[in-house]
Amino acid sequence: MADTLSISRIIRRDGSIVKYSRDRIANAIFKATLSTGNPNRQLADQAARRAEQILLKTYSDDTMPSVEDIQDIVENTLMVSRLTKIAHNYIVYRHQRAQLRAQRSQPFEMSDIVPYKKIYEVLLWNINHRCDSIGSINSLIAEGGFPELVRASESRYHEEITVAIEKLAARLKQVRVVIVAGPSSSGKTTTTIKIGEGLAKLNTRLKTINIDNYFFDLDKHPKDEFGDHDYETPHALDLELINRHLQDLLDGKTIDMPHYDFKSGKQIPNAERFSLAKNEVLLIDSLHGLYKGMTGGIPDACKFRFYIETLGQFRTADGTFMRWADNRLLRRMVRDQHHRNLKPIQTLTHWHYVRTSELTHIIPFINTSDCVINSALPYELPVLKARLFSFFSKAIEKFKDDPGRQDAYIRARRVRELLQPLMKVSDDSVIPRDSLLREFIGNSGYTYH
């Protein structure tokens, strides 16, 4: 084990940061050995040390692991060490803990702080439309029901947009800034466009400011040992300039807005003159729109905040639910390849930055939003599988023996195992050109900047 511990903090499910403790890992493994009828503290301590060695090669205090990351690595460590029975019991223990959290009487689900009522409604909708599991959606595709699922999914998403606009409309007399926030690849940009379309019907003029244009030059960001940049943190943005520009706009001033070129990693200053008339509402589409430092100078009464997330309730054959972050990872792989000149493997290895940022700078602020919108489209997984599935086997082979890339290996293996039995759909012609999914797979009727 390394002499100097480079991980002192971890991220809990509610986004809070707590002290790292190897003893907690060892205790969980010990409970797994206890349930085999052969408790072994020494074995638990050894397994915890091996898991910690993997953590040290993948994370640091700058890229803190989450509780979920640690549990994934512990499971993998036990399996690689051929402690299969203990690994099974650890997985059961982990599942039981999750069930206990779910039974607590609290208004928000603490893993991602999203209202249980909304998640339950999503699950019921999926069950009623036969898209809640791999088996059900495979049967639906085989019977020719895929086009109808596309239509129903798009209709459900647009109904959510309609309800969201109605909530905003009730406060339009006070609101000057509308924020559409959420984690990476949740569909914020398309949702922002659609909210704009809906408000236009209410004779409200909208003006969108693209916060991505405020990224610092990429060469100003520190690199990790693999040469990767962490541009997922809100501090990769010029927050001071953003706040100054927002305040100037609300004061009726004209700003000189920069432009960010993702392919070159450079910010072009003073690229566009931008102003906001008194009868216009400013729209902000930003990963970190709920982060306090983003719009701290604007009174809350003047803001309406939407939160977008892929709240998919999709189960594997054994009943395990697909992680929302894995859904978004697939979307981002496709988008990055087509629009940002990045290979899927680059997106995969960068993803731990994405999750760290989400857990520390996005999820803790979900309960400050005024409206939560579910952007998951149950039909999208067969479509995304057709574009990406072959990649995951290559990633698993590449990273399985690389201790510094166990996060990428575990994630790739998990997604591949989920997609393996799912039927793929290569023909996307039934997907409307105004679909949110077109933001990622291309051929959209909207223009994205």
Give yes or no for a contact between 344 and 335, defined as CB atoms under 8 angstroms apart.
no
Same domain as 243, residue 378: yes
CB under 8 A, 24+ apart: contacts of 106-113 = 108/366, 108/367, 110/13, 110/14, 111/13, 111/68, 112/13, 112/309, 112/324, 112/363, 112/366, 113/14, 113/15, 113/363, 113/364, 113/366, 113/367
Same domain as 142, residue 77: no
**Which of 55, 84, 103 is the last residue in one of the domains?**
103
Same domain as 64, residue 132: no
Give yes or no for a contact between 183 and 287, defined as CB atoms under 8 angstroms apart.
yes
Same domain as 135, residue 112: yes
448 falls within a domain: no
Same domain as 93, residue 198: no
- Whether the predicted pLDDT of 309 surpasses 90: yes
1 falls within a domain: no
Question: Tens digit of pLDDT for each residue in 330-369?
Answer: 999 999 998 887 899 999 999 988 888 888 888 888 888 9
Same domain as 96, residue 150: no
3 falls within a domain: no
Q: Residue 214: give the domain boundaries.
A: 108-441
449 falls within a domain: no
What percent of the chain clears pLDDT 70, i.e. is strictly above it?
A: 90
Rounded Cα–Cα distance for residues 392 and 345 (Å): 9
Same domain as 26, residue 118: no
The residue whose two tokens read 């520390």 is 360
Task: Give me the pLDDT at residue 106, please.
Answer: 37
Among 66-80, 125-139, 234-248, whose mean pLDDT is lowest? Answer: 66-80
**Which of 103, 124, 148 is the last residue in one of the domains?**
103
446 falls within a domain: no
Kind of pairing between the strands at 303-309 and 205-210: unpaired
List, in sequence order, every residue forming a beta bridge with 361; answer none if it has no partner.
none
Same domain as 212, residue 146: yes
- Per DSSP, the chain holds a count of helices (H) and strands (E) of 14, 11
Same domain as 286, residue 147: yes
Among 21-35, 173-187, 326-340, whose mean pLDDT is lowest? Answer: 21-35
Among 87-101, 227-241, 318-332, whose mean pLDDT is lowest? Answer: 87-101
**Which of 103, 131, 162 is the last residue in one of the domains?**
103
Q: Write down how long the chain is.
A: 449
Same domain as 151, residue 275: yes
**188 phi/psi in degrees, rounded to 5:** -65, -40
- Whether the predicted pLDDT of 426 surpasses 80: yes
The mean predicted confidence, pLDDT, of the chain is 87
Highest mean pLDDT among 47-61, 64-78, 163-177, 198-212: 163-177
Among 74-83, 262-271, 387-396, whose mean pLDDT is lowest? Answer: 74-83
Give yes or no for a contact between 65 and 74, defined as CB atoms under 8 angstroms apart.
no
pLDDT-based confidence at residue 97 (cuts at 50, 70, 90): low
Average pLDDT over residues 273-292: 88
Task: Give me the pLDDT at residue 320, please.
Answer: 81
Same domain as 401, residue 259: yes
CATH number at residue 358: 3.40.50.300
- Rounded to 5°, the CA angle 219-221-225 comes to 100
Same domain as 112, residue 62: no
How many domains are there within the chain? 2
- Whether the predicted pLDDT of 223 surpasses 70: no
Residue 361 DSSP symbol: I
Residue 169: which residues within 8 A CB-CB, separation 6 or more? 199, 202
Among 76-90, 97-111, 404-418, whose mean pLDDT is lowest? Answer: 97-111
Element (H, E) at 270: strand 266-274
The candidate with the shortest Cα–Cα distance to 399, out of 355, 335, 348, 332, is 348
Tokens describing residue 435: 């679909």
Task: Give me the pLDDT at residue 340, please.
Answer: 80
Hey, CA dihedral for 79, 84, 85, 89, is it positive or negative? positive
pLDDT-based confidence at residue 440 (cuts at 50, 70, 90): very high
351 falls within a domain: yes
Task: Give me the pLDDT at residue 1, please.
Answer: 38
The candidate with the shortest Cα–Cα distance to 58, out of 404, 429, 435, 443, is 404
CB under 8 A, 24+ apart: contacts of 46-49 = 47/74, 47/77, 47/78, 47/81, 47/83, 47/86, 48/22, 48/23, 48/74, 49/1, 49/22
pLDDT-based confidence at residue 108 (cuts at 50, 70, 90): very low
